[in-house]
């Protein structure tokens, strides 16, 4: 199983909205590196949900329930989506501030490549987020 992190601006699509919807297809990815990451997601993989701009914190964990397929919001076959459903809400959000100063998490793409919207996490990094999020 693999681990990932996706970003969303809460203004556009928040964790709360995601929980109301019960599931969503992850659309709007228009960057090849992020797209390639989407394509590598397998059913059952766990995905951290990060609020960018507003909040700047990891708020929950989602699960991949359907692997990649053509993005229904465009005819351009370059772009794909995956289906996600909410799994856990973190007891405590893990803030960017914490991530930047944490020995394990400061090495994640969130810090090193701040513009990438879909990125892989290692198991260690993933577990560290759960621990800091009060889910350990």
Partner DNA sequence: GCCAACGTTGGC
Q: In the complex, which residues of this chain contact DNA (CB under 7 A)?
A: 7, 9, 30-33, 52-53, 56, 96-97, 100, 110, 112-117
Cβ at position 47, least distance to DNA in Å = 15
Between 43 and 106, name the residue whose CB sits nearer to DNA: 106
Cβ at position 101, least distance to DNA in Å = 11
Cβ at position 32, least distance to DNA in Å = 4
Between 11 and 69, name the residue whose CB sits nearer to DNA: 11
Report the candidate in 55, 44, 107, 19 with the shortest Cα–Cα distance to residue 128: 107
Between 54 and 124, name the residue whose CB sits nearer to DNA: 54
Residue 5 main-chain phi, psi, to 5 deg:
-135, 135
Between 16 and 97, name the residue whose CB sits nearer to DNA: 97
Cβ at position 67, least distance to DNA in Å = 22
How is 65-121 classified by DSSP, letter by letter?
EEEEEE-TT-S-TT-EEEEEEEEEEEEEEEEHHHHHH-TTGGGSHHHHSTT-SEEEE
With contact defined as beta carbons under 8 Å apart, do 37 and 109 qualify?
Answer: no
């Amino acid at each position: 199983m693999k681990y990932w992190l996706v970003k969303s601006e809460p203004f556009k699509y928040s964790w709360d909205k995601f929980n109301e919807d019960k599931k969503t297809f992850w659309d709007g990815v228009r960057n090849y590196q992020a797209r390639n990451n989407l394509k590598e997601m397998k059913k059952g993989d766990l995905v951290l949900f990060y609020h960018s701009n507003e909040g700047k914190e990891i708020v929950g964990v989602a699960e991949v329930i359907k692997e990649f397929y053509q993005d229904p919001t465009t005819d351009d076959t370059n772009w794909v989506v995956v289906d996600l459903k909410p799994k856990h809400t973190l007891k405590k959000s893990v803030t960017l501030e914490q991530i930047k100063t944490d020995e394990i998490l400061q090495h994640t793409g969130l810090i090193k490549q701040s513009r990438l919207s879909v990125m892989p996490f290692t198991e260690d990094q993933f577990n560290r987020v759960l621990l800091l999020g009060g889910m350990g």
